[in-house]
Amino acid sequence: MSSPAASACTDTSAPVLRDFGGGPFGIYVHVPFCATRCGYCDFNTYTAGELGTSASPQSWLAALRGELAAAAREFAALPSPTPEVATVFVGGGTPSLLGGDGLAAVLDAVRAEFTLAAGAEVTTESNPESTSPEFFERIRAAGFTRVSLGMQSAAQHVLRVLDRTHTPGRAVAAAREARAAGFDHVNLDLIYGTPGERDADLDASLDAVLGAGVDHVSAYSLIVEDGTALARRVRRGELPAPDDDVLAARYERIDARLRSAGLGWYEVSNWAAGDAAVCRHNLGYWDGGDWLGAGPGAHSHVGGVRWWNVKHPARYADRVGAGGLPAAGWEALGADERYMERVMLAVRLRSGLPLADLAPAAAPAVDRVVADGLAVRSDDDRLVLTDRGRLLADGVVRELLG
């Protein structure tokens, strides 16, 4: 490839936007509040004790409204009309700490500045302990169509290592409450490979997930992130680091159980009971779509320009109050960077990477990964990972990018 590299700028809060990319447009809203901090988490989240009086859900919501209004003005100045919003995803943090009325206010703030498409997917993440039947009924009435619940494990000792506060059975109960409130699409998140987790613990978690009647499951291997409490415990020798062979075996165990129950993989870490159950918002990321990320620390991408907000809720509110987008920095992606991201993301999808999207120089690498049994050429000329290839997806990407 021979194109200019991405240009990055961190000395201005005003990204220089290009036009929209032509694909689906989504909005991600980041809620930075958590009741407690989980030992493995490195997300941009804060407990009430960490924030003190510098920020609150009320000041955050006021700033969110201001950012959405500023973004709408910026987008209105682009050559093409602002697309209708195909997906909204409220994540965190713990969005359910806002309560049903708070999440309804978030969706109202989005609707005040943008037009939701007919049939838009509207998702919120939730911690099982901060939900109830009334909570699910309220957000369903407000317009949410999908709920993602953090379960992680059904084993109490595993939850304890992760510093999760919910009881093992609460996630399943919350999923059933969401279904009873009218949600057709409910996801449960699992984390596998936690130190001390046994095969029997994972089997119990899968039994619970499948017994909950959800139509989507996300399963992620535990990653020990620098700077977290878990990383400090591993460094001190209190806990062993996750073992790659164990992680691979656990992934295969998860895939076999979910597949036998009718949930097929559509992205390396995600399984769904048919096309209607996939998370369309996340597909927008993997397919290189456009999205606005609103809230402290949120990332956005529009037409090959990416920017990221200031992280602390108080600074975020101050920046919004000063006018314009609260960006900490931005970059315009060059052709090399866009090509790299296309390969990295599309390879992870069951639909695969169109061979026509690959540079001619990648042809020998394609031959190698196919010969090694890591991928196949589909009938519609796509490179699709095999079951073994999913375990080595990062290596396949490295091979293709050479």
Q: Which amino acid is present at 328?
A: A
- The phi, psi pair for 231, rounded to 5°, reads -60, -40
Helices (runs of H) and strands (runs of E) counted in the chain: 15, 16
The per-residue pLDDT for range 119-147, each reduced to its tens digit, is 999 999 999 999 999 999 999 999 999 99
pLDDT at 37: 80
Helices (H), 287-352: 313-321, 335-346
Q: Which amino acid is present at 377?
A: R
Cα–Cα nearest to 229, from 163, 153, 167: 163
With cut-offs at 50, 70 and 90, classify the pLDDT of residue 180: very high
195 pLDDT more than 90? yes
The per-residue pLDDT for range 90-124, each reduced to its tens digit, is 999 999 999 999 999 999 999 999 999 999 999 99
The distance of Cα 33 from the centroid of its chain, to the nearest Å, equals: 17
Both structure tokens of 94: 């713990």
- The phi, psi pair for 165, rounded to 5°, reads -95, -15
pLDDT at 395: 97
Bridge partners, residue 292, by sequence: 27
- Angle of CA points 23, 396, 193, to nearest 5°: 95
This prediction has a pTM of 0.94
Both structure tokens of 366: 């394609």
350 pLDDT more than 50? yes
pLDDT at 7: 53
Both structure tokens of 125: 């993440």
pLDDT at 13: 59
388 pLDDT more than 70? yes
The distance of Cα 178 from the centroid of its chain, to the nearest Å, equals: 20
Q: Which residue has the tokens 């990320």?
A: 293
pLDDT at 231: 87
DSSP labels, 349-367:
BTT-EEGGGS-GGGHHHHH
In angstroms, the CA 273 to CA 117 distance is 24
What H or E segment, with its residue span, contains residue 3?
none
CB neighbour list of residue 58: distance below 8 Å, 6 or more residues apart:
none
The per-residue pLDDT for range 255-309, each reduced to its tens digit, is 999 999 999 999 999 999 999 999 999 999 999 999 999 999 999 999 999 999 9
The per-residue pLDDT for range 202-240, each reduced to its tens digit, is 999 999 999 999 999 999 999 988 988 888 998 999 999
3 pLDDT more than 90? no
Q: Report the residue count for the chain.
A: 402
Cα–Cα nearest to 60, from 100, 29, 20, 17: 29
Alpha carbon distance, N-terminus to C-terminus of the chain: 12
With cut-offs at 50, 70 and 90, classify the pLDDT of residue 2: very low
**Maximum CA extent, the chain:** 60
87 pLDDT more than 50? yes
